[in-house]
Amino acid sequence: MRQVTQFLDEISNKSLLVVFPHPDDESVMVGGLIVTALKMGWRVSVLTLTEGEMGKIHINGKGRSSREIRREEMAAAMSRLGVADWVMWQFADGRLRQTSKWKERLAEFVRITDPGLMVSYDLSGVSGHPDHISLGLEMLRIARKTDTPLLWPSFVGWEREKMVDSRVDKYLNMPNLESELSLRESVRKWMAVFSHRSQKLSGFLGVVGWLAMFLMRKERFAKMEKSKIYRYRYVKFKL
């Protein structure tokens, strides 16, 4: 499998735009890629479309709203990844499929930032979350229109079994790029991931699962093919 660093070297416009619907998506899915790109001298911008207010809070909020908590956690995660250029919009969590205002704003944001590479969810949405799929569809449209390379996080083996909802598994694209993180890079990624303390991410895979992913120190990606037809399906998802 080809190395991500080789792919990044070939792109002349060293500007990476990371777009996800919710805070924590960016760190779990592509935290290592962010660290690697910054290390290679890239400019990295991270955009989150919602404040993740529908996510259940598993800590004592001490009077803070879920929006406040998740914004503070996002700031901590970005600091640990080394990202200075990040923004969190306030579109309704869980409602991206039902609205369209964010699409026009996103297209304009891409035009202004003029990235040489974009990364987001593919049409599986990995978990099947409707926000993930809706964003995946729009990012695919933008990538084709602007001819900007687009990467999607992907998984193989037991990681795929654990991370990808079986109902959307067939829509996940097989990876053709791989990133091997150094120990330092992996530590930075997982410190960012667990900056999102309120989401109790440790309970998703369990301690053993997260430890295994940390020790493997890999991220995998599929590169969008402009002429290929990609299929998708919205599934029932409890928000």
Q: Is residue 233's pLDDT more than 70?
A: yes
Summarised one tens digit per residue, pLDDT across range 67-78 is 999 999 999 999
Please determine, for residue 204, whether its predicted confidence score (pLDDT) is greater than 80. Answer: no
Place of tokens 């400019």: 43
Mean pLDDT of the chain: 94
Q: Give a yes or no: residue 192 inside a domain.
A: yes
The verdict on residue 50 lying in a domain is yes
Q: Which domain holds residue 139?
A: 2-223
Domain assignment present for residue 102? The answer is yes
Sign for the pseudo-dihedral over CA of 62, 64, 65, 70: negative
| CA–CA gap between residue 231 and residue 33 (Å, rounded) | 26
Confidence label for 207 from pLDDT (cuts 50, 70 and 90): low
Mean pLDDT, to the nearest integer, of 205-227? 80
CA 214 to chain centre: 17
pTM for the model stands at: 0.95
Q: Quick one: pLDDT at residue 180? A: 93
Q: Give the pLDDT of residue 49.
A: 98
- According to the per-residue pLDDT averaged within each range, which of 31-40, 57-66, 185-194, 215-224 is highest? 31-40
pLDDT tier at 65, thresholds 50, 70, 90: very high
- Quick one: pLDDT band at residue 238, thresholds 50, 70, 90? confident
Instruction: Quote the tokens at residue 228.
Output: 């290929």
* Residue at 51 is within a domain: yes
- For residues 166-189, give the mean pLDDT: 95
**CATH number of the domain enclosing 146:** 3.40.50.10320
pLDDT computed for residue 3 by the predictor: 97
Supply the pLDDT for residue 206: 62
Q: Residue 202 — φ and ψ, nearest 5°? A: -60, -25
- What average pLDDT does range 28-32 have in this prediction? 96
| pLDDT score, position 60 | 86
Does residue 233 fall inside a structural domain? no
In a domain, 22, yes or no: yes
Asked if residue 45 has pLDDT above 80, the reply is yes
Q: Report if residue 175 sits inside a domain.
A: yes
Q: What is the pLDDT of residue 26?
A: 97
Angle (CA) 158-162-160 rounded to 5° is 55
Is 231 domain-assigned? no
User: CA–CA separation, 178 vs 120, rounded Å?
Assistant: 16
Number of domains in the chain: 1
Structure tokens at 154: 């992907």
